[in-house]
Amino acid sequence: MNDRQARPTRPTSQAPDQSRRPGPRVSPGFVFLAIAVVGSIAYTLYAITVRDASQIPLLASGAAVLAIAFGALAVYCLRASWRAGGDGRGGWALLVALVGGGAAMATAGCLAAAVILFRLASGGG
């Protein structure tokens, strides 16, 4: 059996599928994470502008929410980098891994800030 017989052929009357657009597709998970990160940054910026006794607890909760959002982004980038590397897209895998690494560092910083601010808000030393 030669290669020509092994491969199914498409009838010539059918045109190729034009409904797909070229380039990378944006997944719903990425859109959700982008909204979460932007929303938590906006909340933290709002908490910075508050000038009363509730500012420290607001900043602490804002830092905690940012840590959760950046942590989810880091995990998402880990999975996306793993898949891109398995598909042979090394450049894309490296770019996604760098974004994920930045998100992981931001997670650690926000988590540290949240712990410190929660300790300040509770008055503990």
Handedness of CA 42, 75, 33, 83 (dihedral sign): positive
Long-range contacts of 30-36 (CB under 8 A, 24+ apart): 30/76, 33/69, 33/72, 33/73, 33/76, 36/69, 36/72
Give the Cα separation of 26 and 29 in Å (integer).
8
User: Which carries the bigger pLDDT value, residue 27 or residue 109?
Assistant: 109
Token pair belonging to 14: 């059918």
**CA angle at 74 for the pair 70 and 29, rounded to the nearest 5°:** 85
Give the model confidence (pLDDT) of 66-103 as tens digits: 999 999 999 999 999 999 999 998 999 999 999 999 99
Q: What is the pLDDT of residue 26?
A: 79
User: Residue 101 is inside which H or E element, if any?
Assistant: helix 90-122
Residue 9, pLDDT > 90, answer no
Give the model confidence (pLDDT) of 100-115 as tens digits: 999 999 999 999 999 9
Q: Would you list the domain boundaries of the chain? A: 28-122
Instruction: State the pLDDT confidence band at 125, using cuts at 50, 70 and 90.
Output: low
Q: What is the pLDDT of residue 73?
A: 94
Q: What is the pLDDT of residue 65?
A: 94
Instruction: State the pLDDT confidence band at 27, using cuts at 50, 70 and 90.
Output: confident
Q: What is the pLDDT of residue 2?
A: 57
